[in-house]
Copies of this chain bind each other. A is one copy, B any other.
Amino acid sequence: MEKRWSVLDALRHSRHDWLNKLQLIKGNLALNKLERVHEIIAEIVREMQHESKLTNLNANRFAEWLLTYNWEARHVVVSYEVLGDNGDLSAYDEALVTWCNAFLQQLEQQADASGENHLDVSIELEDGSVRLFFDYRGTIKDGDALATWLESHPPKAPVCCGEAAIHKEEMTVFLYITNG
């Protein structure tokens, strides 16, 4: 089960993140790099738009899981983006969070703490279809173990897992949702 956080936890993490961003703005202001400040602000606004889109998908447990993933010390840094128009993932919330949580536990085991391990999750909404694309770059200690796990642990229907491509230091896998 994914860890649940309190409102105070959320405000504390959010405060931390924002103060870091503010520090970045302040540093560039001090160097009079105004162009860079504008870029940083634009980047933050884009990030916040993705966060807002994620929370509007009505998959609250999944959204909370993704937004809070890096609040614990992990080997894998997870980022995400939401592409396309708003959809309603409420019916798949439990299937998504359960599978993603289990999948990340496997991935954490294969990631070397000393390396840089990054997973980017793209949530793609298009014409009523939903696709989650996982793009991992980082250590993979035992690719075969990951492949075996993926084959033997499909998500709960109607969420399906597409074929994974596992390489030395890169892996892609995607989920899709079958209609009806």
Contacts and interface: CB of A to CB of B under 8 A. Distances in A.
A35 to B, nearest CB: 11
Nearest to A13: B11
B45 A19 contact: yes
Contacts of A5: 7
Interface in A25-41: 25-26, 29, 34, 37-38, 41
Interface in A68-124: 68
A48 B68 contact: no
Contacts of A22: 41, 44-45
A67 interface: yes
A166 B134 CA distance: 61
B8 A64 contact: yes
Given A22-B44, A44-B22, A6 B8 contact: no
